[in-house]
Amino acid sequence: MIYPILRRLAQMLFVMFGISVIVFLIFFATPGADPAARIAGRNASPEVLEAVRHSFGFDRPLYVQYALMMQKIFVTGDLTSFVNRGWKVVPAVLDSIPVTLSLVFGAAVLWVVFSILIGVVAAATRDSWLDKLLMALGLLGISMPVYWVGEVMNLVSQSRYHDTWLFSWVPPLGYVNFSDDPKGWFLALVIPWITLSILYIGIYGRVLRAAIIESMQEDYIRTARAKGLSETRILLRHALRTSLIAFVTLFGLDFGALVGGSALLTEVVFGLQGIGKLTYDALQSLDLPMIMATVMYASMFVVIANAVVDFVYILLDPRVKTS
């Protein structure tokens, strides 16, 4: 068991190395643009420009530049933003991680629980009015843009009905540290969680329903019926269990992408200083060190999520282990 894990870790490192090289090349080796000028920002003085050039090694070969960049991100951690002078990039990224993780993790719990519920109920009551209603709601959830849902939520809970008994508990926008105030953390995130999870509940509920209905056609379901099992047991222990394999793949990819910054719209709408918001701001001001760091961070999460999916796969599908 140890050897495959080590091999998988080595693969992850290799993939991250590849991503870092590609991102580095895109931003620092694009011909026709002086990376030093971009890092230093507009209207930089020649002295600053020279300092940048020297500190990033732009006067030296590409591989040295790459090595210096990696050193600044991973070893010394002293990469500084040149747009917001003196702002250390690495601590900024580290600070925003708990925000994004809190947001995505909570939303993931919601969407897993509710999509399984919806998928199973819809599959069990296939073609009934309940199934049709659930699927229509799912489609509605998919088609509502998350920033719109977020704004509507804010409108309702922050201003229009804030003073009614229904929404008076909603704290002002922004993030509260879990360690400072667990209850405040929870309350601040409830509405962002719901907002972010609506889309995924729709997608996952529909995907799961289709997967369950497909596996209900399999021969082993007929065997399960021939064994005299109850329909509930057949649905949960046989059909749902085998359908979860597709579900987990999808989940791993989405979770990785969200933690890696795709929750950006939700973060912006609810004023959460997460990784998505950070990347978004960095892109707006072309803050290359910040972009480099956030992209490295995002790729790390996507790769880790993929590896976790692979391991869960082994747990869910014994066929993977031997082949």
Rule CB under 8 A: say whether 242 interacts with other proteins. yes
Nearer to other proteins, 87 or 311 (CB): 311
Q: In this structure, what are the phi and psi dihedrals at residue 44, rounded to the nearest 5 degrees?
A: -80, 145
Q: How many residues bind other proteins (CB under 8 A)?
A: 27
Among 17, 218, 232, 314, binds other proteins (CB under 8 A): 218
Stretch that binds other proteins, among 4-12, 17-25, 171-179, 293-301 (CB under 8 A): 4-12
Distance (Å, rounded) from C-alpha 299 to C-alpha 291?
Answer: 12
Give the shortest CB-3-to-other proteins separation in angstroms. Answer: 7
Token pair in block for residue 309 = 């999916």
17 binds other proteins (CB under 8 A): no
* Strands 87-88, 80-81: pairing kind: antiparallel
Select the residue interacting with other proteins from 54, 60, 183, 227 (CB under 8 A): 227
Separation between Cα atoms, residue 205 and residue 132, nearest integer Å: 12
Q: How far is the CB of 313 from other proteins (least distance, A)?
A: 11
Structure token digits, residue 8: 């998988």
Residue 132 binds to other proteins (criterion: CB under 8 A): no
The residue from 5, 25, 225, 314 that contacts other proteins (CB under 8 A) is 225
Contact call for residues 20 and 70 (beta carbons, < 8 A): yes
Per rule CB under 8 A, is residue 317 in the interface with other proteins? yes
Is residue 224 part of the contact set for other proteins (CB under 8 A)?
yes
43 binds other proteins (CB under 8 A): no
As a whole number of angstroms, the distance between CA 319 and CA 67 comes to 42
Least distance (Å) between residue 87 CB and other proteins: 41
Distances (CA, A) of 67 to 1, 70, 245, 289: 34, 5, 40, 14
Rounded to a whole number of angstroms, the minimum distance from the CB of residue 211 to other proteins is 13
Q: How far apart are CA 305 and CA 200, in angstroms?
A: 17
| CB 206 to other proteins: min, Å | 22
Measured between alpha carbons, how far is 117 from 121 in angstroms, rounded to an integer?
6
- Between CA 122 and CA 104 the distance in angstroms is 26
Nearest approach in angstroms of CB 227 to other proteins is: 4
Residue type, 30: T
Segment near other proteins (CB under 8 A); pick from 48-56, 189-197, 228-236, 259-267: 228-236
- Give yes or no for a contact between 173 and 270, defined as CB atoms under 8 angstroms apart: yes
> Can residue 168 be called a binding residue for other proteins (CB under 8 A)?
no
322 binds other proteins (CB under 8 A): yes
Task: Report the nearest approach of other proteins to the CB of residue 123 (Å).
Answer: 14
The DSSP symbol for 175 reads -
**Of these, 159, 177, 230, 232, which contacts other proteins (CB under 8 A)?**
230
User: Strand, helix or coil at 182?
Assistant: helix
Residue 232 is a binding residue for other proteins (CB under 8 A)? no
Contact, 204 vs 119, CB < 8 A? Answer: yes
Given a contact cutoff of 8 angstroms between Cβ atoms, the answer to whether 266 and 191 are in contact is no
Q: Tell me which residues touch other proteins (CB under 8 A).
A: 3-4, 7, 11, 218-220, 222-231, 233, 237-238, 241-242, 316-319, 322
